[in-house]
Amino acid sequence: MSLFDTVRRLFRPPAVEPPSPSSSPSPGARPMPPPSQKPMLDRRSAGRADASPGLRVLIIDDSATIVAVLGKMLRQNNFETTGAGDAESGIEAALADVPDLIFLDIVLPGMSGFNALRLLRRNPATAEVPIVMISGNVQATEQFYVQRIGADDFMRKPFGRSDVFSRIQRLVESGRLPSHAAPRAELLTDDDSVALPDAEIDQATAPADQP
């Protein structure tokens, strides 16, 4: 072996062998997915359709606190709210000005929420209005029963903001409530076509060679 080959071998970096498939990863290392497995997408990055601002919501509950707290949550999201303390006045309010959504308590003075739900579903004016029943009763049978007789969803007391808006989100995704993407009345032109915002008009009419 020549002197040159001897020096080259002395200064050559040692070969690094790939880790064995059976070797365990170091503590804190994030496991890599196999080549055939796609990485899971973060659900928070997926687009979601929110309910349109200005939705009219009727809250029927004999607790003034529930009406006030739920109403504040909804108004913070630009919804319009009306409250009623019993089933009879709630039905009267719903027929006088049909809401987009009703939160209906089950235990009410006089007529129960179950009977109010039946009457609202039988009336053509309110038959298609989404209704979310609410109750502090611990019996899980209520949730099954309200859906059997026509309610869209059930929410147990006490509830938080996420409980309220997750149910509204489900109604939007199922098409029971209009989404924020729906055309607004002020964007309609005289011929009932949708008027584009100024920025979209400028982009649509720009020359093809303009960057």
Q: What is the pLDDT of residues 164-185, one digit of tens each?
A: 999 999 999 999 998 864 444 4
- pLDDT band at residue 108, thresholds of 50, 70 and 90? very high
CA dist 157 → 24, 91, 153 (Å): 48, 22, 13
With vertex at residue 112, the alpha carbon angle to CA 110 and CA 118, rounded to the nearest 5 degrees, is: 130
Upstream peptide bond of 158 is cis (omega within 30 degrees of 0): yes
Higher model confidence: residue 99 or residue 190?
Answer: 99
